Amino acid sequence: MNKTKLFTVLLLCTLLSGLFSGCQSVDLSPAENNISSSETAAPSAQGADSDGLLKVEYIDVGQADSILISTPTDEHMLIDAGAAESNDANPIEKALEAQNIDRLDVVVATHPHYDHIGRMDYVIENYDIDNFYLPDVEGNYTSATYENMLEELEEYNVNTIYPSAPEEFTLGEAKCEILSPLENQERDCNEYSIVLRMTYGDNTFLFTGDAGRQSEYNMIDRGFDLSADVLKVGHHGSAYSSTREFLDEVRPEYAVISCGEGNSYGHPHDETMDRLRGIKTYITKDVGDIYITSDGENLSVYTENEGAPQSGEYESAANPTDEAEEENAVTPENSFVGNKNSKVVHSADCGSLPKEENRVYFSSLDEAEAAGYRGHSCVG
């Protein structure tokens, strides 16, 4: 069925449900899930079909990412599927079940790191998926989880799409632009992250996976419109994402960081929180699941646990001290420097660091190893 027909059928279904209550309405009300509001009053307990809200749920999956988007016309998109720490009561499964979802129009695996595709097996096995977007990592990355995912996509005959920016698709009445990855770029696995900008009426959401500064600068260089009301902060709040230049383009009202309590990377990094000053920032490890709804004009934010956003005073990039801060962000205590070519990682105070243009920065050895780097003798 093509998208136009699908939309017509869904529209018809929505209209008929008003007359006969024949179609099952999906209850998206955070109030039903015992969610307390930290921004505005909770929406009515009626289903999304009748209240016309687009709902974005940033699922608390610990040190991982998973975001579920549902349109008022009952289309669903899942961006990433967390890690597979526990098969019991997995939060992604719970989120899908809570909305009675039986099919997913779009699934996006932003990039093949474990903390983004850990439960894709469950998603592929249990849901009809129309289109599955994933980056073409061109043989630069592999893992057992990733290979299994590729095998399952084939086994279940899922339509896979390897996008190359700029591209776009629609999810109901929401427009989704793919802004990254660009073609032919040598990069670290995180920099393959699919970056999506979703527009619904006057509201815009930016989803960045683990994109880092290289992707951010590429998108700026290409002149893409990056402005968004809500930013899913790149790479769990790592200091090597969310550059000031990027934030100045996005200018979000709200920021969401997905990371786990006591994670070994120290996410979110202080440098990132500094740069996010003045932006209402919600962190899953502090507030649990985060729900943002849009009626096409206004946004409402709800969190699982009562939790106010962190915020402060955001200084624009015009501040001359910012440049110096940026340079000082890498310190011997908290960073590791990889060589993009040799895939060897050094401690930042090592005597034989790679040339500036070949460097890639990590906040921990774990992070470097997860990206396929092996340690130089300087890191023991």
Residue span binding Zn ion (CB under 5 A) among the ranges 166-174, 185-193, 255-263, 269-277:
185-193
Footprint (CB under 5 A) of Zn ion, residues 340-379: none
Footprint (CB under 5 A) of Zn ion, residues 111-140: 113, 115
Alpha-carbon distance of 133 to 113, in angstroms, equals 15
> 294 is written with which tokens?
């849009």
In the complex, the smallest distance separating the C-beta of residue 328 from Zn ion, rounded to whole angstroms, is 25
DSSP labels, 37-61:
ESSSPPPPSS-HHHHT-EEEEE---
In the complex, the smallest distance separating the C-beta of residue 238 from Zn ion, rounded to whole angstroms, is 9
User: In the complex with Zn ion, which residue's Cβ is closer, 48 or 259?
Assistant: 259
Judged by CB under 5 A, the residue of 66, 70, 110, 190 near Zn ion is 190
Residue span binding Zn ion (CB under 5 A) among the ranges 67-75, 108-116, 142-150, 292-300:
108-116
The amino acid at 124 = I
75 interacts with Zn ion by CB under 5 A? no
76 interacts with Zn ion by CB under 5 A? no
Q: What CA–CA distances, in Å, run from 140 to 63, 200, 212, 288, 356?
A: 23, 35, 17, 34, 21
Using alpha carbons, select from 235, 238, 216 the residue that is nearest to residue 317: 216
User: In the complex with Zn ion, which residue's Cβ is closer, 130 or 369?
Assistant: 369
User: Three-state DSSP class for 284?
Assistant: helix
C-alpha of 231 from chain center: 9
Residue span binding Zn ion (CB under 5 A) among the ranges 26-34, 136-144, 184-192, 334-342:
184-192
Residue span binding Zn ion (CB under 5 A) among the ranges 42-50, 106-114, 139-147, 342-350:
106-114
User: In the complex with Zn ion, which residue's Cβ is closer, 190 or 272?
Assistant: 190
If one counts every other C-beta atom within 10 angstroms of the C-beta of residue 368, the result is 25
User: In the complex with Zn ion, which residue's Cβ is closer, 146 or 200?
Assistant: 146
Alpha-carbon distance of 143 to 188, in angstroms, equals 15
> 314 is written with which tokens?
């955001």
> 214 is written with which tokens?
């290289």
User: In the complex with Zn ion, which residue's Cβ is closer, 105 or 188?
Assistant: 188
In the complex, the smallest distance separating the C-beta of residue 304 from Zn ion, rounded to whole angstroms, is 21
Q: What share of the chain is helix, strand, coil (3-state, %, to 5)?
A: 30, 25, 50
User: In the complex with Zn ion, which residue's Cβ is closer, 74 or 210?
Assistant: 210
User: In the complex with Zn ion, which residue's Cβ is closer, 201 or 372?
Assistant: 372
In sequence order, what are the residues at sequence separation of 6 or more whose Cβ sits closer than 8 angstroms to the Cβ of residue 221?
Answer: none
In the complex, the smallest distance separating the C-beta of residue 42 from Zn ion, rounded to whole angstroms, is 31
Alpha-carbon distance of 84 to 194, in angstroms, equals 21
If one counts every other C-beta atom within 10 angstroms of the C-beta of residue 155, the result is 10
Alpha helices in 205-338 (DSSP H): 213-221, 244-250, 270-275, 284-287, 321-328
# residues near Zn ion by CB under 5 A? 4
- Tell me how many degrees the CA angle 369-371-377 measures, rounded to the nearest 5: 35
In the complex, the smallest distance separating the C-beta of residue 287 from Zn ion, rounded to whole angstroms, is 19
Residue span binding Zn ion (CB under 5 A) among the ranges 188-196, 276-284, 317-325, 327-335:
188-196
User: In the complex with Zn ion, which residue's Cβ is closer, 48 or 123?
Assistant: 123
The interface mask with Zn ion, positions 200-239, x = CB under 5 A, is: ----------x-----------------------------
User: In the complex with Zn ion, which residue's Cβ is closer, 166 or 372?
Assistant: 372
In the complex, the smallest distance separating the C-beta of residue 228 from Zn ion, rounded to whole angstroms, is 20
Residues within the interface to Zn ion (CB under 5 A) = 113, 115, 190, 210
